[in-house]
Amino acid sequence: MKQFNQEWNQDHAPVPGGEPEIIAFCCDYCANSAAALAGSKRMQYPAGVRIIPTPCTGKIEMEHILDAFEKGIDGVLVVGCLEGGCHFVEGNLRARRRTDRVCEVLDEIGLGAARLKMVNLSDSMASEFVQNLEEMLATARALGPNPLKSSKQNESAGNL
């Protein structure tokens, strides 16, 4: 959580144009490499996406995701290795169960499970990585800004 807060504080700046803010928790063994490959290929992905590298998606706790939503993030994407391909054997499967549980909580409190999604990719799937980010962005746009975003954040994002 401490590391997440550090990353967040370093990177966090209002996204221009009122675009949704998306956090992508990316496994170092796949998604992070896919993101790097997307960069090498000069592929564009939305400016409102912030990538947080993790050693494995199994390292992501439910609190990390809930904390992001409480801070006003509009959508969270968890990107892990393909099923059966986790470097730590079953970290991505555990992450799937945890994201499913967080989705239930988000539905229960009324924020909506659609704001959270987990996908499985390999390190060579740069275009799928970008496509998933764009889909997440489109979902967040359709849902509107996270109502938990502070009024100050909303103003700077142009949502009020």
Partner 1 sequence: MIVASPKSITELKSIIAGHKKVLFVGCGTCVTVCLAGGEREVSISSYAVRMARKLDRNPIEITQITIERQCENEFIKDLAEPASHVEAIVSFGCGAGVQAIAERFPEKPVYAGLNTQFLGVLEEQAIWTEKCMGCGSCMLAQFGGICPVTRCAKRLLNGPCGGSLESRCEVDSDRPCAWQLIYARLKAIGQLERLEEIVPPKDWSTAWYCGARKVIRKEHQV
**Sites of contact with partner 1 (CB under 8 A):** 61-63, 66-67, 69-70, 105, 108-111, 147-148
Strand order in the sheet with 75-81: 49-54, 22-27, 75-81, 116-121
Question: How many CB atoms within 10 Å of residue 7?
Answer: 15
131 burial type by CB count under 10 A (0-12 exposed, 13-18 middle, 19+ buried): middle
Shortest approach of partner 1 to residue 105 CB, angstroms? 5
Q: Which is nearer to partner 1, 47 or 109 (CB)?
A: 109
- Least distance from partner 1 to the Cβ atom of residue 5, Å: 14
| In the complex, least distance from residue 29 CB atom to partner 1, rounded to whole angstroms | 23
**21 vs 123, beta carbon nearer partner 1:** 21
Least distance from C-beta 100 to partner 1, angstroms? 13
Q: Which is nearer to partner 1, 109 or 138 (CB)?
A: 109
For residue 119, the number of C-alpha atoms closer than 13 Å in the C-beta half-sphere is 21
Q: β-pairing, 49-54 with 22-27?
A: parallel
Nearer to partner 1, 63 or 100 (CB): 63
